[in-house]
Amino acid sequence: MSIKCFLKMKNKEKIAMITAYDYISAKIAEAAGIDMILVGDSASNVMLGNSDTIKIGMDEMLIFIKAVKMGAPNTFVVGDMPFLSYQISESEAIKNAGLILKAGADAVKLEGGKNVAPLIRKMVEYGIPVMGHIGFTPQSYKQIGISSKGKTKTEEDLLIESAVALDDAGAFSLVLEMVTEPVAKKITESISIPTIGIGAGRFCDGQVLVWHDFLGLNRDFEPKFLKKYLNGFDLFKKAIENYSKEVKDGTFPSIKNVFKPIDIESSDQK
C-alpha cells in the first residue's frame, strides 16, 4: 500500500483504518489485512491514562510508532504529530515529521484547517506524506470544545474551505472527526483525496476507530459514533479472574505445565 493506492481507492473501495500503539496489536492488525494503521496521539489517553492528547510528546509517540512498524512492517502506518511538535516553527515541524518517518511511519498526521495548509505544503515539498485532520481536533479542545462540527453554515463553510486548502496543499488524505454527515459528504465530494471519518457518517471514503474503543477495552467510552466489535474489557477481566482463581485453588499450574527430568528429551529447555 502506498499513498497512490489510497488515492486510487477513492470512489472504488472504502479504506478501513484502525489505531494501534504496540507490537502485538500491530501484528494482529496486519494479519487482519487492515488498509492503514494510525499510531494516534490518542495513545495519550488509552495507553498512558492521560485525560487529553495535549499531554503526550514526541519521545513517547516515537516509542509507539517504532513498536507498531515492527509488528506491521507491510502495512501503511501513519504517525500522529503530537501537540507542540508542529506549531512552534516550520523547521521544528519538519524535523519532528522526519523523526516520525525515521521511526518507521509511512506518513504523518497533524490537526488543523487552512491555517496549517502552508506547513503541509512545505512538508510535502520535502517528500513527507501528510494526512490532514479537521472537524473536532482534540488538541484544541480547550478552545473549540468537545462537540461535533459542521452544524452551522459558518462551520460548514470553514470546514469545506479547509478541506479544499489541505487537498491543494498536497495532503494525501483527510481525517474528518465528528463532522455532521451532510457536511462530511459534501467535503468527500469536493476534494480529490480520500476522507477518513470518525463520527463523520456513512459517506466518507474510509473509517477509523481507536483500538481500545472498538474492541470494547475502554469500558465506559460509549460515544454515539462508536460500534464495539468485541466486549474486550469483560473478556480480559474474565480471563484474569479465571487465572487468579486457578492459582489460588491449585488448578494452575497443572502437570502439563511442569518441567520434570523426564521432559529433557522433548522440550524442557523451552
Binding positions for Mg(2+): 41, 80, 111
63-82: contacts with ligand KIV (CB under 6 A)? 80
Q: Does 201 bind Na ion (CB under 5 A)?
A: no
Q: Does 80 bind Na ion (CB under 5 A)?
A: yes
- From 34-42, 91-99, 160-168, 246-254, give the range in contact with ligand KIV by CB under 6 A: 34-42
Among 6, 19, 68, 185, binds ligand KIV (CB under 6 A): 19
Q: Which of 173, 204, 171 minimizes the C-alpha distance to 187?
A: 204
135: phi then psi, degrees, rounded to nearest 5: 95, -130
Look up 177 and say whether it is catalytic.
Answer: yes
Quick one: CA torsion of 40, 31, 222, 110, rounded to 10 degrees?
20
Q: Which three cell numbers stand for residue 171?
A: 495532503
Amino acid at 7: L
Q: Which is nearer to ligand KIV, 137 or 248 (CB)?
A: 137
Least distance (Å) from ligand KIV to the CB of residue 141? 12
Closest residue (Cβ) to ligand KIV? 40
Amino acid at 145: G
- From 37-45, 186-194, 226-234, 252-260, give the range in contact with ligand KIV by CB under 6 A: 37-45
> Over the Cα atoms of the chain, what is R_g?
21
Q: How many CA atoms lie within 13 A of 239 on its CB side?
A: 6
Least distance (Å) from ligand KIV to the CB of residue 198? 5
Are 208 and 38 in contact by the 8 Å Cβ rule? The answer is yes
Q: Which is nearer to Na ion, 30 or 80 (CB)?
A: 80
Q: Which is nearer to Na ion, 40 or 170 (CB)?
A: 40
Q: Does 47 bind ligand KIV (CB under 6 A)?
A: no
Q: Which is nearer to ligand KIV, 78 or 99 (CB)?
A: 78
Peptide bond connecting 253 to the previous residue in cis, omega within 30 degrees of 0: yes
Q: How many CA atoms lie within 13 A of 113 on its CB side?
A: 20
Are 70 and 62 in contact by the 8 Å Cβ rule? The answer is no
Are 96 and 81 in contact by the 8 Å Cβ rule? The answer is yes
Q: Does 208 bind ligand KIV (CB under 6 A)?
A: yes
Q: Which three cell numbers stand for residue 110?
A: 497533524
Among 17, 40, 172, 178, binds Na ion (CB under 5 A): 40
Q: Which three cell numbers stand for residue 183?
A: 457536511
Q: Sign (positive/negative) of CA torsion 43, 39, 23, 220?
A: positive
Considering the candidates 177, 241, 246, 265, report the single residue annotated as catalytic: 177
Q: Which is nearer to ligand KIV, 66 or 258 (CB)?
A: 66
- From 35-43, 82-90, 152-160, 215-223, give the range in contact with ligand KIV by CB under 6 A: 35-43
Are 65 and 108 in contact by the 8 Å Cβ rule? The answer is no
Q: Does 205 bind ligand KIV (CB under 6 A)?
A: no
Residues binding Na ion (CB under 5 A): 40-41, 80
Residues binding ligand KIV (CB under 6 A): 19, 38, 40-42, 80, 133, 175, 177, 198, 208, 210
Enumerate the active-site residues: 177
